[in-house]
Each structure stands twice: as structure tokens, then as C-alpha cells.
Amino acid sequence: MIKVLFLIPTLAHGGAEKVLVNLVNNIDKQEFDVTVQTLFDVGENKQFLSSDVKYIPGYKKLIKGNSKIMKLFSPGTLYKHFIKEEYDIIVSYLEGPTARIVSGCTDNNTKLVSWIHCTYKDIKDAAASFRSVKEMLSCYARFNITACVSNSVRESFVKTLDFNKPITTIYNTIETDLIKRRSDEPIDDIKFDKECFNICSVGKIIPVKAFDRLARIHKRLLDEGIKNHMYIFGVGSGKAELESLIDSLHIKDTFTLAGYRDNPYKYVKACDLSVCSSLSEGLSTAVTEALIVGTPVVTTLCSGMKELLGENNEYGIVTDNDEESLYNGIKQMLTAPGMLEHYGKKALERAPYFSTENTVRSACEMLKALLDKR
């Protein structure tokens, strides 16, 4: 049995947290003894951990400014504080604080993995959770391998850090069978208007998701006589600001903040179109889920989108990452004859490439290869 620990700040409702739960639930427990540990014992995704995954909770409440507080302590001190057992492999499943902690391991028999989910503007941006750029480079150099969620995330990481240590791409684990099954569950709390286009977007309501773009695009489409209703499934710190924009645009009746749902799949499947308006992504869980349920996708150009939807829009529309381009892509999808039907079929055609079986196998092969090199 390979004893492996996955360390993550929380199991909140974000994409990385959800993907980690998917991965650890599906790892073969005949080969791996799996533990998930959080720094803070909060988050909706904790409830979805399988009973055969050990869970070590962190502090009961999320501490504001915790990454700044942690910078007061060295990686070695933090490691001794948080990690109490010995493991064959320890994975920092998010950038920043957990990477500092795991890099503090001094046991040469323990293999270390850093998992990267995002791109950075520059090296200072990458070092935000570290004491300095020098410390960040030293910490990431301690890892035996770095796993990135898409090829574009990997390319960005290598370029930003001038990184020359072992690095690979492991696509996010999505529960494809569960998503398909749950997408067929009945919807009894939302009545979708069949006389207009129903459009959805799933994600935290935070600035990087750029839902303000969707509000303004929605208004433009209405003004042009293209009837549509926009649904946002998620919660987050930017909700009040987004609500204020919705009020100012007078679209409250047709732009719905539907809140967090533990089964967004049935709503996505019921919609005519799924949109990602993000400023940046690592590998979008929401877009992958839309492919699985067969809902056409329009997205801004972020990391991983062309890997998901094709270099030339074979499986969905990828626009330039600005509001005007996204507006044009959505309008084209809604108004070009047969385009929604075409991309609905292409979504289902693409989905198996990102199956649970394929992504879990890739992750497990990477972990086992680390021990083979001891």
C-alpha cells in the first residue's frame, strides 16, 4: 500500500476542491492508503469524501489573512506543526501556503508533489504567498515533480519561474458517470422559459469569473431582441457588487443569481448554452461538465480551453478574452442556424477524452513512478 497525503487549504465549493474529492474517491484503495488534510475544516465538498478516504481536519474556522500569518514561520516549522504522520508521498494540491508547508519536509524517503491549477501574471504574482521570489523558487525546487492541470498551465509555470525540474500535465478528474446520472434528476425549483434561450454559468462569484461581463452582454442581447435568461450557479464575495450591477441594468427579471447547488449538472443540461466568462482559469471544471451533459459551450480564451474545445473550435467556441469577443461568440451561437444543435453533439463526442478512468489512471501512474525512482 502506498501511503499518500493530499494537503489543501479547505474543501470549499471551488473547482480545485471538487476535483480533489473526485480524484481521491476514485483512486484504487487496494493500492493507495489515501488521506486528505485541510488547513481549515470548512467547505461544502467535505461531505462528498468517500468513507474509505481518511480525513484530517484543520482549524475549525477560516482565519482571515492566514497566508500572511503563515509567512511569519519557516516551511520547516509549518511542516512540523501540520504534518504529524509519515507518508510515502505528500501532495500540495494548491499553490501557495500548502506548497510552503509541504516543501518543509526533510525526510528524503518521502516524495513531494506540487499541483498547479492556475497561471500567473508574472513572477511576483506567483510569489504572493511566499516571503519572497527567492523563497518560492527554493520551495518549488524541493518537489520531486510538479503536476499541472493543463498544458497551458504547465507552459506558463515553466516560463514564469524559469522552471527546469520534472513537470507533467494531469487533467482534472471529473465524475463522468455520476454527472450523467445526476443530470437526469428532475428540476422542481426553476421553471425554464421555453420561449427564450436559457444560458448558464457555474462558478464562484468572484472578480476573476467576470460575471459582470455576462450581465452587460445579456442586456445587449435583450436590447437587440434576442430573448434570453441568464442563470449564475454559485456564491461568492462578489455577489453584492454583481447584484448592484444587475439592478442598474434593470435586468433583475432575466438575470438570476441561483446560488450554490450540489447538483448543477441538471440545470446545465436543461440550458441551451453554457458560458465561461473568466479572466483566467486553470482547466475549467464547469466547461468539462457541460461537455459531459451535452450542453454547447462558449468561453473566453483561458488556460486549457483549447485542450477542451479544440484548436479551431471543433467542440465549442473559444473567443478572445474580452467582452466584445465574448458577446460576438454568444450571439453567433444563439443566432446561427443549427449551431446550438451542432455543438451539443460535438460536446458529447468530446467528453470521453476527459473520463474519470483516464484522468485517475494518469494521476496514479505519476504517483507510482515516483516510488519506482527511490
Confidence of residue 283 (pLDDT cuts 50, 70, 90): confident
What was the pLDDT predicted at 14? 72
Q: What phi and psi values does residue 274 have, to the nearest 5 degrees? A: -110, 135
- Using the predicted structure, report yes or no on whether residue 373 has a pLDDT greater than 70: no
Match domain 177-353 to its CATH number in 3.40.1180.10, 3.60.130.10, 3.10.20.30, 3.40.50.2000. Answer: 3.40.50.2000
pLDDT tens digit sequence for 55-105: 999 999 988 888 899 999 999 999 999 999 999 999 999 998 999 999 999
The answer to whether the CB of 36 falls within 8 A of the CB of 4 is: no
The answer to whether the CB of 226 falls within 8 A of the CB of 334 is: yes
pLDDT tens digit sequence for 200-226: 999 999 999 999 999 999 999 999 999
pLDDT tens digit sequence for 314-330: 999 999 999 999 999 99
Is beta strand 255-257 parallel, antiparallel or unpaired with respect to 167-169? unpaired
Closest to 145 measured CA to CA, from 84, 97, 102? 102
For the segment 271-297, the average pLDDT, to the nearest whole number, is: 95
What was the pLDDT predicted at 374? 59
Domain topology for 2-173+355-372? Rossmann fold (3.40.50)
Beta carbons within 8 Å of 260's beta carbon, 6+ residues apart:
13, 44, 233, 234, 235
Q: What phi and psi values does residue 116 have, to the nearest 5 degrees? A: -110, 130
Confidence of residue 290 (pLDDT cuts 50, 70, 90): very high
Q: Where in the chain is the domain with CATH 3.40.50.2000?
A: 2-173+355-372, 177-353
- Using the predicted structure, report yes or no on whether residue 43 has a pLDDT greater than 90: no
User: Would the pTM count as exceeding 0.85?
Assistant: no
Closest to 309 measured CA to CA, from 339, 349, 341, 264? 349
pLDDT tens digit sequence for 7-23: 999 998 777 898 999 99
Closest to 92 measured CA to CA, from 44, 39, 134? 39
What was the pLDDT predicted at 334? 98
